[in-house]
């Protein structure tokens, strides 16, 4: 049914305004929820990155140990080879040089083995810290994911309510005569949040410009449909 009488049109506009206000507050709520989603997702990313960094350090330490072990093996081979070459020595001088070389390699081997021991000790301590970090990370991730899923549910509810509000608004707008409808739709494009606004303290709440007395009377008497002469929004008087 198309609203033709002023009272009917106004009644529809009041409805639409109420729906628009609800839509605005829903959208604001959804924005705030999305900000929280971003915040939590950033936190998750940071936790994962920190963890990955530590894991990388752990791998590096492990690799260092393997490298040193390979070095020790090489010293051992070299020492064995040198010892094997003893039989082909002809002079005392050559013999002493060989012994010196072998001793030097043995010293280096001992030093490297000490380094390995230190790394192994460090690694053990590191494993302990790493385990702690892992536990802490997992519990944080769990908490954050719980929060995220709560927020995402709220967003879903908000979206479904928004869907209902949009549908409700469409139904109301469909009741307006073509002329009012066209004006409303144009206004909505310009002022998505408040194409319809209230007269308050002699001014239009939309643009804060004062409204001429005669227009105010028309609005208050609900005798004529009025638009703000400055911004064009539909003006209604706030019902007590």
Mark the segment that binds Zn ion (CB under 5 A) among 5-13, 16-24, 163-171, 224-232: 224-232
Establish if 205 lies at the interface with Zn ion (CB under 5 A).
no
- Length of the chain, in residues: 240
Burial of 126 (0-12, 13-18, 19+ CB in 10 A): middle
Establish if 215 lies at the interface with Zn ion (CB under 5 A).
no
Establish if 230 lies at the interface with Zn ion (CB under 5 A).
yes
Write the DSSP string, 16-70.
Answer: HHHHHHHHHHHHHHHHHHHHHHHHHHHHHHHHHHHHHHHHHHHHHHHHHHHHHHH
Q: How far apart are CA 129 and CA 176, in angstroms?
A: 69
Binding residue (CB under 5 A) for Zn ion from 72, 187, 196, 228: 228
Establish if 33 lies at the interface with Zn ion (CB under 5 A).
no
Give whichever of 195 and 206 is closer to Zn ion, judged by the CB atom: 206
Shortest Å distance, C-beta 207 to Zn ion = 3
Shortest Å distance, C-beta 228 to Zn ion = 3
Size of the site for Zn ion (CB under 5 A): 6
Burial of 137 (0-12, 13-18, 19+ CB in 10 A): middle
Establish if 231 lies at the interface with Zn ion (CB under 5 A).
yes
Shortest Å distance, C-beta 230 to Zn ion = 5
Binding residue (CB under 5 A) for Zn ion from 10, 23, 199, 204: 204
Write out the binding residues for Zn ion, residues 134-173 only, by CB under 5 A.
Answer: none
Give the pair of three-digit tokens for residue 231: 């911004």
Shortest Å distance, C-beta 223 to Zn ion = 20
Establish if 206 lies at the interface with Zn ion (CB under 5 A).
yes
Q: How far apart are CA 34 and CA 158, in angstroms?
A: 11
Sheet containing strand 226-227, strands side by side = 203-204, 196-200, 234-237, 226-227
Would you tell me which residues interact with Zn ion (CB under 5 A)? 204, 206-207, 228, 230-231
């Amino acid at each position: 049914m198309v609203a033709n009488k002023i009272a009917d049109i106004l009644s529809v506009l009041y409805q639409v305004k109420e729906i628009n206000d609800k839509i605005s507050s829903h959208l604001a709520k959804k924005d705030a929820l999305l900000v929280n989603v971003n915040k939590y997702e950033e936190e998750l990313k940071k936790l994962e990155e920190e963890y990955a960094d530590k894991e990388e350090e752990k791998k590096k330490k492990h690799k260092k140990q393997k490298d040193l072990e390979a070095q020790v093996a090489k010293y051992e081979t070299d020492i064995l080879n040198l010892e094997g070459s003893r039989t082909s020595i002809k002079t005392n001088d050559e013999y002493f040089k060989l012994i010196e070389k072998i001793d030097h390699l043995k010293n280096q081997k001992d030093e490297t083995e000490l380094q390995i021991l230190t790394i192994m000790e460090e690694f053990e301590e590191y494993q302990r810290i790493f385990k702690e970090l892992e536990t802490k990370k997992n519990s944080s991730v769990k908490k954050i994911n719980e929060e995220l899923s709560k927020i995402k549910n709220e967003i879903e509810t908000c979206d479904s309510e928004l869907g209902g509000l949009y549908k409700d608004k469409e139904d109301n707008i469909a009741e307006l005569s073509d002329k009012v409808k066209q004006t409303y739709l144009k206004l909505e494009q310009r002022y998505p949040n408040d194409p319809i606004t209230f007269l308050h303290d002699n001014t239009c709440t939309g643009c804060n410009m004062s409204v001429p007395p005669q227009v105010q009377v028309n609005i208050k008497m609900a005798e004529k449909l009025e638009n703000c002469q400055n911004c064009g929004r539909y003006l209604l008087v706030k019902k007590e």
